[in-house]
Structure 1
């Protein structure tokens, strides 16, 4: 709700605010109105104070007038909202005029139109507190309503974009010739890019971290499916009588439709299906609730019953069966879990006995015996949590090492290319077993993930492995039936790449879960959507043509370990600094987060992990990081424009250092390197420059944060909505903090469209 941060007035707008852009627009208004309200309690007012209050009141009125003009423009272009928006704008204008009149101390200013309610004959806010509170409430309520109504336009855009995609998707599914497919897929690609941009901005703007994680999962499906849809459809067109090709294609279309509906469910808050379903009960949540119940007994012996506490524990123990019943859990691990469950039962029984004894003597607080039992019970349940985390993370780590070699995938490709159906069947069974292991491991990780956004990511990983496994098998069967088909081979490669990509994502997921468990990072961090995914920035990739993509060997990784660790620590420090900002959508915050995220991926590269697989990936990432750094420099220069000379000089000096390092990094990443030694030196140089660049960002963040807080308190209450002012079409407001900034980096990474559209006209005749 929109409410004042102060304790003197609760300005409840009656509308739930779900996006950061709406919230950030209201915060300064609430702050200024609170300032006005607080002034009414001062018994004596100097002329200077009265003049200052009058200026604030007039500024609010003028700003509201500009704001309302934008709202009225939106209303005129969206007939379905015209009446609601018009009424809200009228109320906002009246309230703004009332505040100006109530703060008028009688100086020569043009009087505003008579507002309802009229003040009781007295001229100032100091003598008419009731009128000011009413006007403030009306203003906040009406402005919030205008913003929420404008937000409905954004939702309408996303739904409309989805509808266009669905129509084209239906056409794509029914095409029967390559010529028709090329034409329609080109249209489909453009529509998917538009949908990606809209949903990416929306994902950035959402306040609810669970919805944000669900949106990220659905968009990840769409990203992968766009490429799969292209190759699966081509294969089906080339081999129309092949049943496995049809099964392969149908699965892609079905998954894409489900992901599209899931996005709309999140945006419109539908309650029927998709990811709005209730998350399965995790052991982490059960342990958290159980410990909370036990510890609250210290304050109130009579708040719970022994039966409810016992029931909580048994429900928790029942969930551990996912671990103990698994065929992949070792005997030692199973016995350890069962032993800790039994210990938790015993400690709980002792607590219940001590609790009953305390109640029998009508004690008002926990006895010493109860206190000891509470500590022991909490300790035993924490030990159980630690053991379960150890089992789940250990299982995941072992699986990722084994599956990282991709032996079944390689074997399937070879067997398919040889037309060996028996070998394809054999390796398909091996892949199916691996899929079942990964699916079960994702389920175990979900139990110990430590946050709802990470639980959602685990569920997404589980569903992805479950779906892509059979799709790889059907693609391999098609290739085995048509071993000379380049299209069928390309299709199998795409599905195998999707499997490998999900394994890479699982490595990052496991690291995040471990970090949360050990208290190193927050599990609810939002993804940095302004980043292009590695390998999907065609302009930069063009500079790397002719270079050879190689991986660091074990010796090189060892020599880079210290430098990589420094990069990891700096990226963590930058994350910690941006978390201190009150405005998470501030341009400086978003750009700094992006830099930290990219630097972290470069750290993973030095360990042979993550999405950056080869030196080309690293050099590409360095180029993109330098571009992001230059954008941060631009944001810092804009920030400088509001500073005093002394402050401006300090920030400007560091900004110039940042620009120089970005240019150095960009030049280094583009410089050709021939041979192993030169390539390694180039890698070392890129990472060292990135380290220096992050150090400059880290020195700037706290200083800029301090200055931002200082100047934020001096800004006008509302101003004109900057996002709306910059967009020519006022009916389509841009969310504050959208990640696109005019780039296509928030798209679904449709390099597939760039690389494969030309290939559609060059299909082999074999």
Structure 2
């Protein structure tokens, strides 16, 4: 997944078509966010094979990831689906219908009207009514919405009728001159006035549609806030087993989702760029698919209140909903900003763009954070510093109290202290201090941090084989199983390509957050590991070397036979050094 994210990121930067770039970005985002959900939903389904909600969670995530892969293939092949042909009509329509927005249809109508100013084309008698019909069809999404105010609905209907009447008048003029000289008719004042009246009516309708969408968007904060509060209530009610209240809250939550979906649909209709249209469409799709899965995940928890993996699964789906709400808020802001901004000068993609000669992506420019940016990111840095302090205190405590076992060559202690040192240098970066000077230094350090966490995971996984079954081993494995997920999230964040100072700053903040999250789970794992070593008198490993690949799954050297592996696990004497 990390390699795929890297490759698709390069491909996204190379794409010239704005819509294709936005589609690739949407697909990459689905894969990145869905990976952890696929892990937890699969584990929950395996742990509770008779649970229909657990299977629904897993199958939904899997299908969404498959659809994202299809979209990547579609973009790379520029319109060809995975089966090598144009694909089913419904699937192709879903991928392409971002062009069928009210804004796009209105622009097409106005283009035809502008063309008719220059010359009268007999085909206008067919193309203009079809273009008008497409516009009126899109306006129904606004007038049929339960959240559109009475004033906006009446204004849209009135503007639609006026546009229809003006166009009927224009078509009537066309019919009257169909046998006459078209050039003379085109130059007649009456014809020019009629065309301009149609254009003015079309612009008036566009303005009313935009006002209706913006009005709904301005009321969105209340809906999103209530939705997040209901997600918290759903989690509590599921854990407590309060089924009646859970069902009631779930129904209200679905109403909240429907409201947000309506706003997304209308925003897509009035978005003035293809990037915003694509973003709004896929945010709407993801919210429609993943929003109700919060309720589905809560049903598994309510049926198995003691299952930690089902609770973790619910947490992950709740986090996904928070991401989607954040996406909606961003789109609202972008659409509002774009509607108020002046249109940018057209860039002809067939000509070389400034600074973009060729398709090779340039490396991310290393930049320094200024004082204001450091102040903004100080809170995240401080939280990571606290996690670092906890790790240092734990290792020092165990070294002092267990000097016989925790010697300086102990692999777990060494790797934990190494990670703590790297995290501390990243904390210093947020203050403008320490050895890391630029953002690229920070990202490189985060990559090393993830690799070290990967290695520590392998060492502790090997150590866990020696721990007898029971509550301690269960706790150790439950915390240890979270490490690969957090490692992958940090790697995804580091690999994400950014352009511009604002995007780079956001990436810095995300890297700090993901490093802190990984540090917290590593700290828990190390603590439980040391407790198991003391309680069961197990010798901790000494600088274990794993000669196989660096992936999470490569835990043991391939040349060990099953018999040798069995002896390695059961022999608790001596030092655990694997041959290179």
What TM-score bracket applies, with the shorter chain setting the length? 0.5 to 0.7
CA pair 499-584 structure 1, distance change in 2 beyond 3 A: farther
Residues 45, 51 of structure 2: 8 Å contact kept = yes
State the shift of 1:220 in Å. Answer: 0.8
State the shift of 1:361 in Å. Answer: 5.0
Question: Which runs of 5 or more residues in structure 1 are unaligned?
Answer: 1-191, 526-577, 607-611, 621-664, 673-689, 691-739
Cross-structure match for 1:423: 245
CA pair 325-416 structure 1, distance change in 2 beyond 3 A: same
State the shift of 1:398 in Å. Answer: 1.3
Q: Is 2:95 aligned against 1:309?
A: no
Residues 143, 153 of structure 2: 8 Å contact kept = yes
Cross-structure match for 2:14: 205
Residues 10, 361 of structure 2: 8 Å contact kept = no
CA pair 292-760 structure 1, distance change in 2 beyond 3 A: farther
Residues 5, 496 of structure 2: 8 Å contact kept = no
State the shift of 1:521 in Å. Answer: 6.5
Residues 9, 496 of structure 2: 8 Å contact kept = no
Pairing partner for 1:745 from 488, 496, 507:
496
Residues 475, 492 of structure 1: 8 Å contact kept = yes
Cross-structure match for 1:616: 380
Pairing partner for 1:670 from 421, 425, 431:
431
State the shift of 1:430 in Å. Answer: 1.0
Cross-structure match for 1:435: 257
- 1:336-485 equivalence runs, <5 A: 336-356=155-175, 362=181, 363-364=183-184, 365-405=186-226, 406-485=228-307
State the shift of 1:619 in Å. Answer: 10
Residues 102, 138 of structure 2: 8 Å contact kept = yes
Cross-structure match for 2:45: 236
State the shift of 1:347 in Å. Answer: 1.8
Q: Is 2:68 aligned against 1:249?
A: no
Whole-angstrom CA distance in 2 between matches of 1:197 and 1:755: 24
CA pair 743-315 structure 1, distance change in 2 beyond 3 A: closer
- 1:91-106 equivalence runs, <5 A: none
State the shift of 1:311 in Å. Answer: 3.1
State the shift of 1:757 in Å. Answer: 8.6
Whole-angstrom CA distance in 2 between matches of 1:347 and 1:268: 43
Residues 300, 310 of structure 2: 8 Å contact kept = yes
Residues 282, 446 of structure 1: 8 Å contact kept = yes
Cross-structure match for 2:109: 290
Pairing partner for 2:96 from 251, 270, 278:
278
Residues 426-469 of structure 1: CA distance to partner in whole angstroms, max 9, x if unpaired? 11111111122222222222211123332221221111111112
State the shift of 1:421 in Å. Answer: 1.3
Task: Give the TM-score taking structure 2 as reference length.
Answer: 0.60
CA pair 617-279 structure 1, distance change in 2 beyond 3 A: farther
Whole-angstrom CA distance in 1 between matches of 2:180 and 2:220: 55
CA pair 387-581 structure 1, distance change in 2 beyond 3 A: farther
Residues 214, 275 of structure 1: 8 Å contact kept = no
CA pair 666-457 structure 1, distance change in 2 beyond 3 A: same
State the shift of 1:477 in Å. Answer: 1.3
Residues 404, 503 of structure 1: 8 Å contact kept = no
CA pair 223-497 structure 1, distance change in 2 beyond 3 A: same
Residues 523-562 of structure 1: CA distance to partner in whole angstroms, max 9, x if unpaired? 999xxxxxxxxxxxxxxxxxxxxxxxxxxxxxxxxxxxxx
Whole-angstrom CA distance in 1 between matches of 2:172 and 2:312: 67
Residues 223, 259 of structure 2: 8 Å contact kept = no
CA pair 492-275 structure 1, distance change in 2 beyond 3 A: farther
Whole-angstrom CA distance in 2 between matches of 1:257 and 1:587: 27
CA pair 238-220 structure 1, distance change in 2 beyond 3 A: same
Residues 392, 445 of structure 1: 8 Å contact kept = yes
Q: Aligned to 1:404, what secondary structure does the other structure show?
A: helix
CA pair 393-581 structure 1, distance change in 2 beyond 3 A: farther
Pairing partner for 2:150 from 321, 328, 331:
331
Higher relative contact order (CA 8 A, sep 6+): 1
Whole-angstrom CA distance in 1 between matches of 2:364 and 2:345: 18
Residues 297, 366 of structure 1: 8 Å contact kept = no
Cross-structure match for 2:421: none
Q: Is 2:28 aligned against 1:219?
A: yes
Whole-angstrom CA distance in 2 between matches of 1:446 and 1:279: 11
CA pair 332-579 structure 1, distance change in 2 beyond 3 A: farther
Whole-angstrom CA distance in 2 between matches of 1:241 and 1:359: 72
Residues 270-324 of structure 1: CA distance to partner in whole angstroms, max 9, x if unpaired? 2326568431522111111111111111211235333432332133212211111
State the shift of 1:357 in Å. Answer: 5.0
> What number of residue pairs does the alignment pair up?
399
Whole-angstrom CA distance in 1 between matches of 2:276 and 2:240: 42
State the shift of 1:340 in Å. Answer: 0.4
State the shift of 1:254 in Å. Answer: 2.2
CA RMSD of aligned residues (A): 4.2
Cross-structure match for 1:268: 77
Residues 454, 524 of structure 1: 8 Å contact kept = no
Residues 262, 275 of structure 1: 8 Å contact kept = no
Whole-angstrom CA distance in 1 between matches of 2:346 and 2:50: 48
State the shift of 1:395 in Å. Answer: 1.4
Residues 711-756 of structure 1: CA distance to partner in whole angstroms, max 9, x if unpaired? xxxxxxxxxxxxxxxxxxxxxxxxxxxxx9x963359999599579
Whole-angstrom CA distance in 2 between matches of 1:615 and 1:507: 23
State the shift of 1:409 in Å. Answer: 0.7
Residues 228, 494 of structure 1: 8 Å contact kept = yes
Task: Give the TM-score taking structure 1 as reference length.
Answer: 0.46
